[in-house]
A and B are shown apart, each in its own frame.
Chain A
Amino acid sequence: MNIAVWGDELAAWVAAAELARTGNQVMLQAREPEESSLRAEPGLMDAIEQGLTSGAIQQATRHQACQADIHWLAMHPSELIQAKTLCTEIGLHTQEELLIINQSNFGIGASDQLQGCLQNTALQAVVCLPDTLQQGQALDQFANPAALLIGCEQDDIRARLQALLRPFSTHLQQLHWMSRREAEFSKFAISGMLALRLNYINELANLADRLGVDIEVVRQGMATDKRIGPHYLAPGCGFGGSHFTQYIEGLADILAETRHSTLLKTVLEENERQKELPFRKLWQHYQCDLDGKTVTLWGCAFKPGATSVDNAPALPVIKALQAQGVRIQLHDPEALAALMDAIPDCRNLHFCPDRYSALENSDALLIMTEWAEYASPDYSRMKTLMQHPVIIDGRNLLEPTYLRELGFTYYGVGR
């Protein structure tokens, strides 16, 4: 099929790569994503490159792309007006069949608005297909979704859509047809729920800190209740990434505007606070005076497997440490380049290629991302390298009892 992909979001580039791989002819406006964090998505650039080489992906002018009969919209949340202009323009090119798949996070009701830009409502349809991609494993998730929610209000279009999605249906267990609004709302609802769970477990962890209870034990207990289950219950120093956060922000705004509800605003605020938790533990350990200290950060990616530092907890922690005159020695297996871009002020910031070299003369280690290689380090080497064996584990990656036996001062999140 002949498909034009619009937008510079992760979903756009992943869709382009995967649709090209499965035999479609894909038209793009650019040859690579503007944002480095997207370029860093594992496998993505190779797949795009391959498509460009084989000719399955072509860079096209706007005019050329408008001629396509299928359009895939994954645009930035702020670009609704541009999306409407685009749909109007596409609609003017033909009175024939048109399929527009909207994956952009424009908010609830946006897909209906896009439909409204088209003239021939009998043959021209806007479908809402909320994206469920997680940064770091987006290609695989696009190729093998377990479930799809499809907001589609013209039955005639279903066969065509199913044909397009056929190559990605191998592991598909559930396919739900619903209205466009319901699809948009479902995506919001899911993201909000997950954020609430994370926020809740972090609240409990902070309380556990005060009460001398180990939150890890408590959460295992919680997970035994089937109504709750184990997912999204790991306490830590806050969630990051751009994708998830965008949805929560979108939903928080809707709730605030239409319901004067502060529930999700609070979630976002508390999450920001939680990001600084490792800093606060350090601050309290050193009696509110960090001037001249050397502090090691292990990890700055917003999650393991990601090369991006979008909304990563490491960012506010680094800023806080810089403001206190701390020398920061930083290690991350993959995200250092993104961090250098994200922090223009590199004052007191030392990038270390090796996790142990980052520990030299350090007064404390802060674990900010749960990269696998941090889980079982050489503790005796660490103790030799560090000036003071203090570990603040923002991801509850290590075993507190053992570390204390080894003579480390250990602080976890809620343990």
Chain B
Amino acid sequence: MDKQTAWTLLQQAAETEKKRHLKELLQDPQRFHDFSFRQDELLLDLSRQRITASTLNALLQLAESCQLRHWIDALFKGDAINHTEQRPALHTALRQPKGTPFTLQDQDINADVQQALERMEQLVEQLHQQQWRGFSGEPINTLVNIGVGGSDLGPMMVCHALEELQPQAGRAIKIHFISSMDGSQLSSLLQHLDPARTLFVVSSKSFSTADTLANAATARDWLQQASDMPEQLLLKRHFIGITANPQKAREWGLPDANQLHFWDWVGGRYSLWSTIGFAIAVRLGMPGFQALLDGAWRMDEHFRTSDWSHNLPVLLALTEIWNINFLDIHAHAILPYDGRLAHLPAYLEQLEMESNGKSVDREGLSVTHHTCPVLWGEIGPNAQHAFYQLLHQGSESVMCDFIVAAKRYGGAGESLQAQHRLTLANCLAQARVLALGDNALDQSQASAWQRYQGNQPSSLILLDELTPGALGALIALYEHKVFVQSVIWNINPFDQWGVELGKQMANTLLPHVGAPVKPGTFDSATEGVLDALNQLTGGNTAS
């Protein structure tokens, strides 16, 4: 079947299915059994999605018509599927176990990966043993990760999520994340840090990210003022560069011994598995980091080898394709019912919207259908007091992902366990009310403004427990889901040309901030604000 036929069949199915309410589908006692899928420590429950067995079949036909098999193989083989940048996207190779050679352009990249992990392990050990010494000879006890985008969101999200699991040695090292270009995070943080005991980790794939280098320069100046030591010495003792561009890092002043490397074939938003995950390894120790990799690798294997009829990334992707392209749902809320996953929404915002927020296909033609929806999120119970009103009674259709761990607070007191049960109850209650609306509880006496239309579809991902392995698998699930969707939409999920023009424009504008601008240089709006700035600051911002 060709793609157009498969697409048309789904459009036809949607005509009927659009009229069908979830309350009807959920009357089927077999529904949970038929539409929930387990893979190791993850349970994916799609029974509150507006799908039927026949819809699913049609979606699987669509996947086949888009040569999904071919694309999955190409991804794992290391074909240059990021065609606009002529390179592969091999984040899966980062999770491949030791001793499984992987040849890319005559180079065993598994050996490279293992070597980088070993190097990382040495540094982690040095820090955990309190033997990484600052300029005064005191051991480092604070790590500041300076990075933005993929060099920030992934490590921060995982460090936060798994904080409770840090080993004793890891507790001696505090970890902070700095990303904002304006220096506001950094300047308030520096007031509380001891320069003699602080290590800055400058993470940038290109080592030319303006935001990151500006923060790194401020950190360097701060150290210099506090220590009165030669710059070279400070760089050696207080900076680690993590990059795929060693030359640039060298130019910035970092000797090779102070660098950790990764490669061109790792995309920024797929890089937490590489040395970019250094902060994670410091927090969890290498065994914890390895467990994270292992969880992702098991999901890779599941995605690569298992039949699509119970393949979690494929099913999740196709269900959302159904929502986006056939049920016209263009908003997607990420709702973790777990405070530890507070940064997961921001992480997935980048993963999904930077990957699939595109409207030109692989042939350079405009797409004729919707691609990535607007995605946002918040810790579920907090969001209940914020935007759930819109989910329940607004005019927009929104699909939701509920993410929750079954077990928590094993060794803790009863009151915390009670809090966990309360959270689970809220999670299930919201998913049920969104699906069923008024029918969830008897609302026959309710007035118009107390009515709930329901029929908002949601996926529920139940983790046995929030462990490094489960989190690794969860992230890999989303990565592969995004990939499958890109295949259906025929777009390249691994480039991000949409972020370039703004950077160039900022460089062009920079000399004009705080200086008089000649009329006709820019548009009238920009010139107007530049003039206003100039008047407000008296031209002083230029220096």
Residues of A within 8 A of B138 (CB): 273, 276, 280
The reply to whether the CB of B233 lies closer than 8 angstroms to some CB of chain A is yes
A273 to B131 alpha-carbon distance, docked (Å): 13
Residues of A within 8 A of B302 (CB): none
Interface segment, A17-25, A144-152, A168-176, A282-290? A282-290
Residues of A within 8 A of B50 (CB): none
B131 touches A283 (CB 8 A): no
The reply to whether the CB of B57 lies closer than 8 angstroms to some CB of chain A is no
Main secondary structure of the interface of A (DSSP, over half): helix
The reply to whether the CB of A190 lies closer than 8 angstroms to some CB of chain B is no
Contact A276-B137, Cβ < 8 Å, known A287-B233, A288-B233, A288-B237: yes
The reply to whether the CB of A319 lies closer than 8 angstroms to some CB of chain B is yes
Pick from A281, A287, A288: contact of B133, CB below 8 A.
A288
The reply to whether the CB of A320 lies closer than 8 angstroms to some CB of chain B is yes
A287 to B228 alpha-carbon distance, docked (Å): 12
Residues of B within 8 A of A276 (CB): 137-138
Q: Which residue of B lies closest to A276 (CB)?
A: B137
B136 touches A280 (CB 8 A): yes
Residues of A within 8 A of B489 (CB): none
Tell me which residues from 321 to 344 in chain A have a Cβ below 8 Å from any Cβ of chain B: 323-324
Contact A323-B135, Cβ < 8 Å, known A287-B233, A288-B236, A288-B237: no
Q: Which residue of B lies closest to A283 (CB)?
A: B137
Residues of B within 8 A of A288 (CB): 133, 135, 137, 233, 236-237
A284 touches B126 (CB 8 A): no
The reply to whether the CB of B129 lies closer than 8 angstroms to some CB of chain A is yes
The reply to whether the CB of A279 lies closer than 8 angstroms to some CB of chain B is yes
Residues of A within 8 A of B236 (CB): 288
Contact with A along B103-134 (1 / 0, CB 8 A): 00000000000000000000000100101010
Q: Which residue of A lies closest to B131 (CB)?
A: A323
Residues of A within 8 A of B133 (CB): 283, 288, 320, 324
Main secondary structure of the interface of B (DSSP, over half): loop
A384 to B136 alpha-carbon distance, docked (Å): 30
Residues of A within 8 A of B136 (CB): 280, 283-284
Contact with A along B221-251 (1 / 0, CB 8 A): 0000000000001001100000000000000
Q: Which residue of A lies closest to B136 (CB)?
A: A280
A149 to B129 alpha-carbon distance, docked (Å): 42
Contact with B along A259-281 (1 / 0, CB 8 A): 00000000000000100100111
A323 touches B137 (CB 8 A): no
| B360 CB, min distance to chain A CBs, angstroms | 52
A332 to B131 alpha-carbon distance, docked (Å): 25
Residues of B within 8 A of A287 (CB): 233
| B177 CB, min distance to chain A CBs, angstroms | 27
Q: Which residue of B lies closest to A278 (CB)?
A: B137
Contact with A along B252-276 (1 / 0, CB 8 A): 0000000000000000000000000
| A404 CB, min distance to chain B CBs, angstroms | 22
| B196 CB, min distance to chain A CBs, angstroms | 10
| B198 CB, min distance to chain A CBs, angstroms | 15
Residues of A within 8 A of B237 (CB): 288
Residues of B within 8 A of A284 (CB): 135-137
A76 to B102 alpha-carbon distance, docked (Å): 56
Q: Which residue of B lies closest to A322 (CB)?
A: B131
A280 to B126 alpha-carbon distance, docked (Å): 17
Residues of B within 8 A of A324 (CB): 131, 133
Contact with A along B298-323 (1 / 0, CB 8 A): 00000000000000000000000000
Most buried by B among A282, A288, A320, A324: A288
Q: Which residue of A lies closest to B133 (CB)?
A: A283
Residues of A within 8 A of B131 (CB): 319-320, 323-324
Residues of B within 8 A of A282 (CB): 137
A284 to B137 alpha-carbon distance, docked (Å): 7
| A206 CB, min distance to chain B CBs, angstroms | 11
Q: Which residue of B lies closest to A273 (CB)?
A: B138
Contact with A along B464-503 (1 / 0, CB 8 A): 0000000000000000000000000000000000000000
Residues of A within 8 A of B233 (CB): 287-288
Q: Which residue of B lies closest to A281 (CB)?
A: B137
| A290 CB, min distance to chain B CBs, angstroms | 9
Listed by A's residue number, 30 A-B pairs whose Cβ atoms lie within 8 Å are A273-B138, A276-B137, A276-B138, A279-B137, A280-B136, A280-B137, A281-B137, A282-B137, A283-B133, A283-B136, A283-B137, A284-B135, A284-B136, A284-B137, A287-B233, A288-B133, A288-B135, A288-B137, A288-B233, A288-B236, A288-B237, A319-B129, A319-B131, A320-B131, A320-B133, A323-B126, A323-B129, A323-B131, A324-B131, A324-B133
Interface residues of B (CB under 8 A from A): 126, 129, 131, 133, 135-138, 233, 236-237
Q: Which 10 A-B pairs have the closest CB atoms?
A: A280-B137, A283-B137, A323-B131, A288-B237, A288-B233, A279-B137, A288-B135, A280-B136, A284-B137, A283-B133
Interface residues of A (CB under 8 A from B): 273, 276, 279-284, 287-288, 319-320, 323-324
Taking A281-B137, A288-B237, A324-B133 as known contacts, 7 extra A-B pairs with beta carbons closer than 8 A to each other, sorted by chain A number, are A280-B137, A282-B137, A283-B133, A284-B137, A288-B236, A319-B131, A320-B131
